[in-house]
Chains A and B, each alone.
Chain A
């Protein structure tokens, strides 16, 4: 059926603030859907409370509502706009739940709004564990034996019937929340109670655990004519027992025969059809008994999900974009493949490379959190890597993690005690893949590793190949000794030069030099959905060490934008927002924009955004090769958070132009000593401080600046391991702990300004003048990380003198740092005294928030300034804001039951939302203000 012309205006519901289990992949899907609908001439209205999203940008939609995701907000929109249909499948569980709630109140009906892309009954069926199980049995699908329990007693009875191990799955929860494995009777009671409490309907499924079975996921698309295609098959390297969001996953499936796969494909289609007649995306999960290939259905999600974002990036097939078109009536066979633009969208992508997705955890942020992995998702982000073989993709994924690893081991972080390692293989934690290799390296047999991990032997044998190669590498003394063929083989399986250097105990530069001498260089291949069968028009590349290079540099002048890698606490979606705008501004200025990033959840890695996308680790060795191929005019690093900024020195040394603020100024801002000297010279007050190399020095400084003091390692993100301590004892303990976890680090000790107010300024400087984008006042007192504070724009209680002082300091500092582009300055205000706490000459977490609150395209202005294309005076900046905008942090503490919600100098929030208030009598503000010290730890 062609397009339904009665749908002229569509409302898309976003997913709200980022929480564990629901991250920026929904910004990607919402943005794609919006673009796709607008291509068809449909007017798009968007609601999302998350200001750091591209979907809520005027470039994405026609009408944007930055409102809380509530029934009231929906009614407000429907009152103001003529909406024909609502598309609730792009905003995760949050959007669906809202659509259901709105529906229950009869609101959609009242306003004559159709729900498209979804079947509410299908959602209900898929979410209700018991109904799903019955349906599966009805259509002949096998499921694990299970019983539904609505009470503690029913749960106990079920356990008696099933036996251990078993799983408890609460109904209607997100990301496996509240669920868990029970290995024996002693664990059961607590787990059952937690599950019942987690479910809004006080309902759990008690199910036999198929621990160790192989786990697969299929991504399906279906149109209203019932044509169904499989976009991607993903195999979980970590077998059943670990949430798929916490599993390392691989595409295409590596250990699946055609008979087993086709069985799965047929079953997935039967399952999707059994849910009802709806057009859109769907995700189906299966477990396979490795011995018998017996297949059981685990789960079905009839909507766009985290895995559809991954599948889109993994295959090049833009699922959300196509799903949006299906929602307004198109059939798959009426659409074109977006990559080739000549062949049909009704086909199944085929890969000639291997994808590895690796989750990124942030356990160090949650003290006391249980690191073990299970049914509940705990990772905060993910990376995706592409290679021409599994090992290359796996090692690239490790290099993308940004956790100071050079690859899969072969660096100084390897473990050496067999007993510790074997423990960790069984007690699954975030480091299992590294421990698996450690075990093989120490000679533990593949069989034993397989028994402990239940990981398919194919993967273990692959990793063993690395161990064998390393045994050979260490026999060579200098880089010149490595035979060329073997050198090439090492690179082909993903070894970084740094790993080879570490194995041989030589310098990385020696390895790189020899490698280049032998001309062992990366070539670039296209992600094209069709294994090169057809010519592709989209510039989506990955590196490998194969023969032919397909990435031919254009003759245009080009600029590279560095992304911010995997999402973490303290560095997330806001930098994706910045990168997207950076790319658009670069294109507008007449350059080719080139994007480098490895985070599949992002909009900036959408293949139709940059002129060229390199889906690569934000890791120097990979970047350097791209620089040498592309020969860009320069790079922009101030949009990619700390990740990109950290590479400034290497760009500087390589002689690559950094657009915007130069390396020396960035380094000056980061170097505490030099920065303080600068503040002193500018007569800007700052807290007393000192830099310590050991505990004795730290104690001396603390006593000089007087307690309480703020202690932290230098060069960290989001206030990692930052503490406020009040006496020598505490100081000593904390400094020792820092040295234990981060040896070779210096310690910063700052005077802590008790009960000070905090405020911050984001500004743009073009070298001559400074524009103050916004001044935000924190509701919470100093001592809570700015990312965890509620920030009010503009300020509400600071005096004009204080504001004037802050502005003066900002101008002085921005000019003194020779800033070109963005700068963020944090202040503490005690009485009338204004102190500068830190300055970051880059896009900050609050940049998108200010741009949204004032409706000014600040990122575009900043990028034009960085490029030197325009001066601030070329822009007419017109801030639009009535009343105040508040940036409110959102936490994911419920994922870590044993962790207290204590806030301090270390950032813990995973997301944020924006709230607009007319004045300070607003109840929402008053509530925040009343609770401002509630969670203050110190």
Chain B
């Protein structure tokens, strides 16, 4: 069987030739790489990847197939996949379909058999950039002109595109605590981690104001992860500011962390090539313990800006590889956030304690207590 050819063209003109995988077609986005060795399906469906062309560095992709249970949202969110060995054949008794069937069903274009390591080295040196993949147009010049029309990630607002259109509820309505979630691209496992800790959730669309959320009378607020440039989301920053002003318990993850920072007047910036993987070392500066974290972000919170605002915010977590900011606590408020993903999925569960911290924060603020304590000794997490 002859496989169709495909091309990956980067914004700086670099071309990689490979084979077509998934659906035949053309796709584009900002190219980024994830170094995880497990959890490809969770990554594909993570809304934070919206608008990203994903390079997986693991040698094989698709080996254990696709399972309907391992999704972080109801559809594929990456804009395309670039990989080395695309495995149609898979082995897992709990899997429902192959990666090829899944990509075809979700119209995802992919390219395989390219030197992914060379691409990673290129991005590492040149920084993140837009790219286009096509298995239908094999003329590089034609792809170049298409690529010109693609907007840069910096300044791009994407959260509202992946957010829920309507508010919805999750969990047991008789649960001890009520948490309002601002969905700017939330992953399912975050919601699950909260529900497991005896929270009843109402998940609101991205452009919901504090007033609208407050009307539900929640005990705490959560700012979710999500895609795009936080600086292009004044609506969410306003909401966060209002929550802070009301001194409500607040927890933010990833994009939510950046929104919290912006609400405090601390700037964010576009990183050179971001952090994406499940092996990132983070030190908790308060406890002194370290944790291996799951990460996925192309923007970060400015360290200089934090140093200039030490009376407002303190750094709670930092990255051990490059000293970047991984977590903050708002001085004198019940608000904190982390840049990485304590809900994991994929990745290590080292940081799940942050959800407990959030619950404790709410309990302290409301004098309520959760009746069902989350049992960490139960190993089926």
Contact = CB atoms under 8 A, between A and B. Distances in A.
Contact of B281 (A253, A333, A548): A333
B365 interface: no
A140 B89 CA distance: 35
Contacts of B59: 351-354, 388-390
B59 to A, nearest CB: 5
B37 A344 contact: no
Given A252-B37, A255-B91, A258-B39, A458 B380 contact: no
A270 B115 contact: no
Nearest to B116: A352
A257 B64 CA distance: 6
Contacts of A255: 63-64, 91-92
B290 A227 contact: yes
Interface string B74-110: 0000000000110101111110000000000000000
A265 B278 CA distance: 13
A794 interface: no
A456 interface: yes
Interface in A826-862: none
Interface stretch (B145-153, B171-179, B226-234, B343-351): B343-351
A175 interface: no
A262 B85 contact: no
Contacts of B116: 352
A344 B321 contact: yes
Given A531-B120, A532-B124, A351 B379 contact: no
B57 A531 contact: yes
A685 interface: no
B70 A257 contact: yes
A353 B84 CA distance: 10
Interface string B106-149: 00000000111110110010000000000000000000000000
Chain A CB count within 10 A is highest, among B60, B93, B116, B289, for: B60
Contacts of B344: 262
Given A263-B380, A354-B60, A458 B91 contact: yes
Nearest to A523: B115
A132 B124 CA distance: 46
Given A346-B290, A458-B89, A535 B279 contact: no
Contacts of A252: 37-38, 58
Interface in A509-556: 525, 530-535, 546-548, 550
Contacts of B378: 140
B47 interface: no
B288 interface: yes
B92 A258 contact: no
Chain B CB count within 10 A is highest, among A254, A256, A270, A342, for: A254
B292 interface: yes
A458 B62 CA distance: 11
Nearest to B380: A263
A482 interface: no
B370 interface: no
B5 to A, nearest CB: 10
Contacts of A550: 121
B124 A533 contact: yes
A333 B121 contact: no
Contacts of B115: 546-548
Contact of B70 (A140, A259, A346, A354): A259
A533 B120 contact: yes
B323 to A, nearest CB: 10
A348 interface: yes
Contacts of A267: 379
A535 B124 contact: yes
Contacts of A263: 379-381
B67 interface: yes
Contacts of A265: 348-349
A304 to B, nearest CB: 21
B120 A389 contact: no
Given A140-B378, A533-B35, A347 B292 contact: yes
B377 interface: yes
A457 interface: yes
B279 A347 contact: yes
Interface string B343-375: 011111100000000000000000000000000
Interface residues of B, number: 59
B63 A458 contact: yes
B256 interface: no
B277 interface: yes
A332 B290 contact: yes
A547 B380 CA distance: 43
A258 B321 contact: no
Contact of B57 (A253, A261, A352, A354): A352
Chain A CB count within 10 A is highest, among B59, B93, B347, for: B59
Contacts of A530: 35, 279
A270 B57 CA distance: 29
A186 interface: no
B218 interface: no
B379 A254 contact: no
Contacts of A547: 16, 114-115, 118
A451 interface: no
B9 to A, nearest CB: 15
Contacts of B283: 333
A281 interface: no
A226 B284 CA distance: 13
Contact of A534 (B42, B292, B321): B321
Given A347-B292, A389-B85, A262 B348 contact: yes
A344 B348 CA distance: 17
B36 interface: yes
Contacts of B91: 255, 456-458, 461
Contacts of B331: none
Contact of B349 (A262, A351, A531, A548): A262
A531 B64 CA distance: 21
B318 to A, nearest CB: 10
A266 interface: yes
A350 B35 contact: yes
B381 A350 contact: no
Interface in B26-67: 33, 35-39, 41-42, 57-60, 63-64, 67
A259 B36 CA distance: 13
A255 B33 CA distance: 22
B67 A257 contact: yes
B125 to A, nearest CB: 9
B293 to A, nearest CB: 10
B320 interface: yes
Interface string B233-262: 000000000000000000000000000000
A56 B279 CA distance: 37
Contact of A258 (B85, B279, B346): B346
A474 interface: no
B280 interface: yes
A533 B16 contact: no
Interface in A431-470: 456-458, 461-462
Chain B CB count within 10 A is highest, among A262, A290, A291, for: A262
B236 to A, nearest CB: 29
A141 B378 CA distance: 10
A349 interface: yes
A258 B38 contact: yes
A348 B292 contact: yes
B339 to A, nearest CB: 16
5 contacts: A227-B290, A229-B292, A350-B36, A350-B277, A534-B124
Interface of B: 16, 33, 35-39, 41-42, 57-60, 63-64, 67, 69-70, 84-85, 87, 89-94, 114-118, 120-121, 124, 277-281, 283, 288-290, 292, 320-322, 344-349, 377-381
Given A252-B37, A255-B64, A265-B349, 7 more contacts: A226-B289, A256-B64, A258-B346, A351-B58, A354-B60, A461-B91, A531-B120
Q: Nearest 9 pairs between A and B by C-beta?
A: A258-B39, A548-B118, A547-B115, A344-B320, A458-B91, A258-B346, A531-B57, A258-B38, A348-B279
